[in-house]
């Protein structure tokens, strides 16, 4: 049932691999021969656009299972060949499945129905398992049809939010009703199939008939969707009215004030080979304008993840696009380093900086590992059938990088999905954590400038899930020591979607949290913290402070490529550093579509962090629109800080912030923050936003600057203000940020 003939698949795969190799050689030759002139910026951007377009054009639909429309065409071309009735039926089903994955749902459903009719008429033999699978495939195709016609084409702010209610209920009900028919047939044969039960209940929700309409033996109790209500108000999705509800596939998000006007803009990627990188400029009136072309980003296509940093210390935050992940050898694609010209326009400087390479890449992170004041870059590559060593690019301080990974002891080879930098032992040397599949996660401890030069030592201090994905360092309990998050991704049984909510045992990898004990070791505290033990299928994820209480919360985007993986994204509120409470339903965050890049940011400058998330899956038809959850406010105080390094890198990435506040009873407490973009899949603004809870005054703000490891303090700062803090300057400069309100709206069609 694979579709193509084995001989054709082998021949074509080898042919395309050869072509990829030839292309790679030609591209490197082009780089070597490239001559810079007065128009080098335009030339470099055109070069990258040409490379990306040619790689997309030459993509192999046999090797790349996500090129679904091309696979439909290839498989369909084989139907004219002589073959047995059984083989022809299998081919037709395979084509139908690819049509569904491509988003051509009605055509795919029609073909599947004809296959089912042929089987029921006895035209070809079929096992009970095959028929069960066919009903399952028809059910998800119909359920997706309902989502396509309602959640996308007639979107409301409650679309796909579990438990579905209000205007999230489908008005066009054919898809869900037909899905229920097929799920009912299957459950009558296998009533213990919990994955099918979960999807059946979801289908009834879309019709407004849950829970009463669900047959009692298959009903999932409503109580499982309850979440804690203390402390978190309901957030509202304002993406449609704000103009950022772009429809796309899996991708990254980077939020930053890219043009220096005091307003946070959004860069969004979508991983389809021809999908454009999109740039949304914040207009300061509650709306964003897409400014992709004006920003010079035309031709920047594809991209699974984004990171940002001021790599050249010019005061403007630059952008890094990561490509090729999940595609194996088809993922030999270049990343793009986009230099910010200071006005919200960008130029591709990948080849001139020495970063051009061809590897499947998902994760990267900036940090100054050698404390010379310039940001270095670790790139985590995915090794599969062929090794793709990770790269540690040292910033030369002249606009170029050089890979020093083997020389410094970071010669890492693995299927890397997340990376994070953080000084875990507070010795002034930033350490590196690598999250990966199939092997234990690795901490590369920074040993400093030894007699053998700068060196790292590898060790396993927190092994993580078997298939470990997003990761980050944070100080969740405000004790001054960086703790660690590592999200799990593997799930072999769709029933685990329900088991995670029902409180039953499940086999899927779950999220792990490790507490730093302050002696160079970590202790796993996942179970002790509560809700993390039920979080599965972590992809995009990040942390921020929803209620400004001074303790970081986190949001986890969920899903796997399988169209049937429909499980809510999860929001966990930090309850004083002692436990995390699931506030998914209370806060309105439980979208069942696949969640990717997550960014916490105060878009409207009203003092609280909103949440932006890139939505959409891997297959071409698994599209969804991005969301922007507006924070309703929770009454606590805050500070926004804009550190400016002098000896340290300009944005002070890797530095540590400590704020001491006085509380109403006269006592004091400290709030800690690691300067950076947060998690490894989705990027927060680099300027720290710190919740201060019910503080009555700020005693002091302290920054430990990353290059010198020296602490500098400022006193006299006020609550609910923004300040610029320059390394070595004893005075803090207050910054006035423009404020606005998002428009009200009901459905945002």
- pLDDT digit string, tens, across residues 175-187: 999 999 999 999 9
Which tokens in the block code for residue 410? 């970071």
The pLDDT of residue 746 is above 70: no
For the cut 80, the answer to whether the pLDDT of residue 29 exceeds it is no
Q: Is the pLDDT of residue 255 over 50?
A: yes
Q: Is the pLDDT of residue 8 over 70?
A: no
Instruction: List, for residues 609-630, the tens digit of each pLDDT value.
Output: 999 999 999 999 999 999 999 9
* Cβ contact 461:422 at 8 Å: no
In the structure encoding, which two tokens stand for residue 7, read together? Answer: 């001989």
Q: Span 160-171, mean pLDDT?
A: 95
- Strand 733-735: give its sheet, edge to edge: 689-693, 637-644, 721-726, 733-735
Query: Cα separations (Å) of 687 from 67, 264, 371, 571, 641?
Result: 39, 11, 20, 23, 6
Is pLDDT above 60 for 329? yes
Cα angle for residues 379, 380, 382 (degrees, 5° grid): 135
Q: Does 6 score more than 90 pLDDT? A: no
What backbone phi and psi angles, to 5 degrees, belong to 702?
Answer: -125, 135
The two three-digit tokens of residue 555, written as one number: 């949001």
Neighbours of 148 (CB within 10 A): 19
CA distance 335 to 320: 7
| Closest C-alpha among 722, 718, 742, 720 to residue 733 | 722
Cα angle, residue 542 at apex, residues 368 and 198 outer, rounded to 5°:
150
Distance CA 741, CA 716 (A): 30
Q: What is the mean pLDDT of residues 78-86?
A: 93
Determine how β-strand 637-644 pairs with β-strand 689-693.
Answer: antiparallel
What pTM was computed for the model?
A: 0.94
pLDDT of 371 over the 50 cut: yes
pLDDT band, residue 13 (cuts 50/70/90): very low
H helical segments located in 570-634 = 584-587
CA distance 545 to 557: 17
Q: Which residues make beta-bridge pairs with 431?
A: 422
pLDDT at residue number 745: 59
Measured distance CA(20)–CA(12) in Å, rounded: 12
Query: Residue 423: enclosing H or E segment and its boundaries?
Result: none
Beta bridge partners of residue 280, listed in sequence order = 266, 290
Phi and psi of 198, rounded to 5°? -60, -45
Mean pLDDT of the chain: 93
| 628 closest CA partner among 279, 243, 308 | 243
- In the chain, the N- to C-terminal Cα span, in Å, equals 40
Interstrand relation of 627-630 and 236-237 (parallel, antiparallel or unpaired): antiparallel
* φ, ψ of residue 358 in degrees (nearest 5): -125, 95
**Local confidence band at 39 (pLDDT 50, 70, 90 cut-offs):** low
Distance between CA atoms of 159 and 161, rounded to whole angstroms?
6
CB atoms within 10 A of CB 264: 24
Give 620-667 as a 3 state SS string: CCCCEECEEEECCCCCCEEEEEEEECCCCCCCCCCCEEEEEEECCCCC
Per-residue pLDDT tens over the stretch 418-458: 999 999 999 999 999 999 999 999 999 999 999 999 999 99
Give the position of tokens 């001139």: 352
632-653 exposure pattern, b = at least 16 Cβ within 10 A, e = fewer? eebebbbbbbbbbbbebbbbbb
Beta strands in 498-647 (DSSP E): 512-516, 522-524, 538-544, 553-558, 570-575, 579-582, 595-601, 610-615, 624-625, 627-630, 637-644
With 70 as the cut, is the pLDDT of residue 18 above it?
no
Residue positions counted in the chain: 749
Show Cβ contacts of residue 378 under 8 Å, excluding neighbours closer than 6 positions.
364, 365, 367, 390, 391, 392, 393, 410, 419, 421, 432
Read off the DSSP letter of residue 397: S
% pLDDT > 70, the chain: 94
């Amino acid at each position: 049932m694979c579709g193509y003939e084995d001989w054709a698949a082998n021949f074509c795969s080898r042919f395309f691999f050869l072509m990829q190799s030839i292309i790679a050689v030609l591209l490197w030759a082009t780089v070597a021969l490239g001559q810079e002139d007065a128009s080098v910026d335009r030339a470099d951007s055109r070069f990258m656009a040409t490379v990306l377009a040619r790689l997309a054009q030459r993509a192999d639909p046999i090797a790349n299972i996500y090129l679904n429309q091309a696979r439909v065409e290839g498989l369909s071309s084989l139907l004219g060949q002589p073959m047995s009735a059984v083989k022809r039926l299998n081919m037709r089903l395979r084509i139908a499945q690819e049509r569904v994955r491509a988003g051509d749902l009605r055509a795919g459903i029609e073909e599947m129905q004809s296959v089912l009719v042929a089987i029921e008429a006895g035209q070809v033999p079929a096992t009970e398992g095959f028929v069960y699978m066919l009903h399952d495939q028809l059910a998800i195709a119909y359920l997706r049809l309902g989502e396509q016609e309602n959640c996308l084409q007639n979107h409301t702010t409650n679309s796909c939010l579990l438990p579905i209610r209000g205007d999230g209920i489908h008005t066009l009900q054919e898809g869900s009703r037909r899905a229920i028919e097929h799920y009912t047939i299957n459950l009558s044969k296998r009533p213990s199939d919990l994955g099918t039960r979960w999807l059946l209940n979801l289908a009834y929700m879309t019709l407004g008939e849950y829970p009463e309409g669900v047959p009692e033996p298959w009903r999932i109790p409503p109580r499982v969707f309850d979440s804690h209500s203390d402390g978190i108000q309901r957030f509202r999705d304002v993406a449609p009215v704000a103009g950022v509800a772009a429809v796309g596939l899996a991708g990254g998000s980077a939020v930053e004030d890219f043009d220096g006007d005091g307003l946070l803009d959004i860069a969004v990627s979508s991983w389809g080979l021809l999908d454009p990188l999109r740039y949304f400029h914040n207009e300061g009136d509650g709306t964003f304008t897409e400014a992709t072309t004006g920003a010079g980003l035309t031709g920047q296509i594809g991209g699974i993840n984004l990171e940002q940093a001021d790599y050249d210390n010019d005061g403007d935050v630059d952008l890094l696009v990561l490509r090729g992940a999940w595609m194996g050898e088809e993922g030999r694609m270049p990343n793009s380093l986009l230099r910010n010209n200071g006005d919200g326009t960008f130029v591709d400087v990948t080849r001139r900086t020495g970063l051009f390479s061809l590897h499947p890449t998902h994760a990267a992170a900036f940090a100054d590992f050698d404390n010379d004041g310039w940001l270095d870059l670790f790139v985590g590559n995915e090794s599969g059938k062929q090794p793709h060593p990770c790269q540690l690019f040292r910033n030369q301080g002249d606009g170029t990088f050089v890979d020093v990974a083997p020389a410094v002891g970071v010669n890492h080879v693995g299927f890397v999905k997340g990376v994070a930098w953080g000084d875990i032992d507070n010795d002034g040397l930033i350490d590196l954590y690598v999250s990966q599949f199939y092997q234990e996660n690795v901490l590369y401890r920074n040993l400093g400038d030894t007699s053998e030069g700068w060196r790292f030592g590898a060790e396993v201090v927190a092994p993580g899930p078997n298939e470990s994905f997003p990761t980050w360092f944070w100080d969740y309990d405000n004790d001054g020591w960086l703790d660690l998050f590592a999200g799990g991704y593997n799930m072999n049984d769709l029933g685990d979607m329900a088991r995670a909510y029902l409180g039953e045992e499940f086999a899927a990898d779950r999220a792990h949290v490790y507490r730093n004990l302050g002696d160079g070791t970590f202790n796993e505290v996942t179970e002790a913290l509560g809700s993390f033990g039920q979080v599965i299928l972590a992809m995009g994820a990040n942390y921020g402070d929803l209620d400004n209480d001074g303790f970081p919360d986190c949001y986890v985007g969920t899903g796997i490529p399988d169209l049937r993986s429909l499980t809510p994204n999860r929001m966990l509120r930090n309850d004083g550093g002692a436990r995390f409470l699931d506030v998914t339903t209370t806060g309105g965050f439980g979208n069942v579509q696949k969640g990717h890049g997550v960014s916490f940011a105060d878009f409207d400058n009203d003092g609280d962090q909103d949440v932006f998330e890139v939505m959409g899956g891997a297959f071409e038809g698994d599209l969804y629109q991005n969301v922007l959850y507006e924070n309703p406010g929770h009454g606590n105080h805050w500070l926004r800080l804009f550190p400016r390094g002098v000896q340290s890198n300009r944005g002070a990435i890797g530095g540590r912030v400590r704020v001491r506040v006085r509380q109403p009873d006269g006592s004091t407490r400290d709030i800690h923050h690691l300067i950076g973009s947060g998690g490894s899949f989705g990027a927060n603004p680099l300027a720290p936003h710190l919740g201060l809870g019910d503080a009555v005054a700020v005693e002091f703000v302290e920054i430990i600057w990353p290059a010198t490891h020296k602490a500098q303090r400022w006193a006299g700062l006020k609550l609910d203000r923004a300040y610029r803090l320059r390394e070595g300057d004893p005075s803090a400069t207050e910054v006035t940020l423009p404020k606005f309100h998002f428009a009200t709206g009901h459905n945002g069609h």
